[in-house]
A and B are shown apart, each in its own frame.
Chain A
Amino acid sequence: MYALADCDNFFVSCERVFEPSLRLKPVLVLSNNDGCVIARSNEVKALGIKMGSPYFQIKDIVDRYNIRIFSSNFILYGDMSNRIIMTLHKFCNSVEKYSIDEAFLNLKDLNILDYNEFAQSIHKQCKKNVGLPISVGIAKTKTLAKLASRLCKYYPALNGSCVLKKTENIKTVLTKTKIEDIWGIGRKHTMMLHSFGIYSAYDFYIKDPTWIKKRMGITGLSTQNELKGIECIAFETSPAAKQQISVTRTFAAEIDNLEDLKEQTSLYVDKACSKLRAQHSLCTQVMVFILTNPFKQNTPCLYDAKKILFPVPTNSSLEINKNVADTVKEMFRPGVRYKRAGISLSHFVNDKNIQLDLFDKIDRNKHTNLMKTIDEINIKTGKNAIGIASESLKGFKMNRNHLSKHFTTDWNDIIELHC
């Protein structure tokens, strides 16, 4: 059996812990740079504001309904997420952190007499320890556990926990669930399934497996099996290394000169490369892109992207940044005001098995040692104390006009008691 613990409206709920008067008020959280909506309270959902809506488009509704907005405070959310994981570990040793706000528990080695009671006690303990509402779904497979936890959000009477075990119950739920709401069914497959008259998860459940395999491959078949209670998706205690690392940002103010643009992308290179090194990977491909403000009227939206290939896999910030800076220079058009840029590292290999190139001109060991030292210093100081030279000293100024405090990670920001 598996459990999925999924925090409800996680970012919003974190903000509410430290400002309890917002418990029943409409609250939303904006993405980096206050761009779009990334979390909504139930009250905001009821007003029809969609996930990902650009902030400037909903400003009117925000004012009219007195919606409280927050800039994203990922330092706070990350700390609260760790507290949830710590709490879950008290119930079960095998916890797979799936994302910042959800985790799977593998219950196979536990001797649980009453799953309903178990799920309810997880829900209660998370609320008590951290103050966050969480939906706990328990079922035979991860896909069904996910479905069970989803039910909690639609049926408040479940009180934050749901066990989906009996086949007839599962069938009833599947009839009422849209196919696109099943974990693992993406947009493309939804469209394809719709074109064959498959709308509910139950339509999918009873469909001929060979047809599904032919149309959707082995992953489609796995999803169907998982719905039937046959375990197909493995439990991963240590997260798999990422296959792509991207860093993209929207600038607070538009940039129209090459030096500033290069400075920005070098910051992203540094950030992405330190992540790459932390997961012990090397990359062989880097995408760089720069674009203008797509929402600005009367000016054309310009988008330039370029791929850089590295014959010898690398994770050196120096080597990657040099190539990125050269590419930015090639793409840069004078007189254009850029609003956003980003890089994306991909095609990874493990840093243990490097294929050496006889004609390689770079002293790889020297680079590796330098990067190791940089990473160590940055970890020790907890800040980006050192980085590569073209990086800006002033750093990147984000628009974060509605940022809450770092209540749990900065002594200057702890809760103030008016006594």
Chain B
Amino acid sequence: MDKVEIYKASNEEVKLCLAEDIKAGFPSPANDFTFESLNITDKIVKNPASTFYARVNGQSMVGDGISDGDIIVVDKSIEPHDGCIAICYIDGEFTLKRVKIHKDSILLVPANNKFKPIKVTSENDFIIWGIAKYVIKKLD
């Protein structure tokens, strides 16, 4: 006897490719050029694996255009260099400062003359955690 195969009737949708709204007129020439809209993340996040975000709390960096409430885009993978703005961890707190690297010392420089630069010594528990790449601020 021949094998009889029984198939279950499918209720799955079949998706058909449909050209956009063809009416009797001229088809949109833009159909051949579909691109995705711009996404801001593509611009500001180079390395997703090493990108973190942080929020500014305080006024010490206003001179560099970084104010209270702004969001900082941090890339952890970038090597710090003299003069970079970095997310620093000092004695149990995260802060944002411009880092001046001298031969035998490191200075954390604020951008507001109401605040004093911090000289990092071997007494401090200190690391440069990441480098600030972008500032996101809301204009109101």
Contact = CB atoms under 8 A, between A and B. Distances in A.
Interface of A: 20-21, 83-84, 86-87, 125, 128-131, 356, 365, 407-408, 411, 414-419
A10 to B, nearest CB: 16
Given A20-B127, A21-B92, A419-B95, 19 more contacts: A20-B125, A21-B91, A83-B48, A83-B49, A87-B50, A129-B49, A129-B77, A356-B8, A414-B53, A414-B54, A414-B71, A415-B54, A415-B55, A415-B94, A417-B58, A417-B72, A417-B95, A418-B58, A419-B59
A143 B17 CA distance: 48
Contacts of B125: 20-21
Interface string B27-51: 0000000000000000000011110
A128 B77 contact: yes
Shortest 10 CB-CB contacts between residues of A and residues of B: A419-B58, A129-B50, A415-B54, A86-B49, A419-B60, A83-B49, A417-B96, A414-B53, A129-B49, A128-B77
B76 A416 contact: no
Contacts of A365: 11
A86 B48 contact: yes
Please indicate which of the listed interface residues B11, B94, B97 has the most CB atoms of chain A within 10 Å of its own CB.
B94
B56 interface: yes
Nearest to B93: A418
B6 to A, nearest CB: 9
Contacts of B59: 419
A41 B11 CA distance: 54
Contacts of A128: 50, 76-77
Contacts of B58: 417-419
Contacts of A129: 47, 49-50, 76-77
Interface of B: 8, 11, 47-50, 52-61, 66, 68, 71-72, 74, 76-77, 87, 89, 91-97, 110, 125, 127, 129
A419 B77 CA distance: 22
Contacts of B129: 20, 131
Contacts of A86: 48-49
B49 A130 contact: yes
A312 to B, nearest CB: 13
21 contacts: A20-B125, A20-B127, A21-B89, A21-B125, A83-B48, A87-B49, A128-B77, A129-B77, A130-B50, A408-B52, A411-B53, A414-B53, A414-B55, A415-B87, A416-B54, A417-B55, A417-B87, A417-B96, A419-B59, A419-B66, A419-B68
A128 B76 CA distance: 7
B56 A419 contact: yes
Contacts of B48: 83, 86
A93 to B, nearest CB: 16
B89 A130 contact: no
Residue from B49, B71, B97 with most neighbouring chain A CB atoms (10 Å): B49
A280 to B, nearest CB: 14
A365 B49 CA distance: 41
B132 to A, nearest CB: 9
A417 B94 contact: yes
A83 B94 contact: no
A131 B11 contact: no
Contacts of B8: 356
A415 B8 CA distance: 55
Contacts of A415: 52-55, 74, 87, 94
Nearest to A126: B49
A38 B44 CA distance: 37
A75 to B, nearest CB: 15
Contacts of B93: 418
A416 B11 CA distance: 52
Contacts of A130: 49-50, 76
A418 B97 CA distance: 10
A411 B54 CA distance: 9
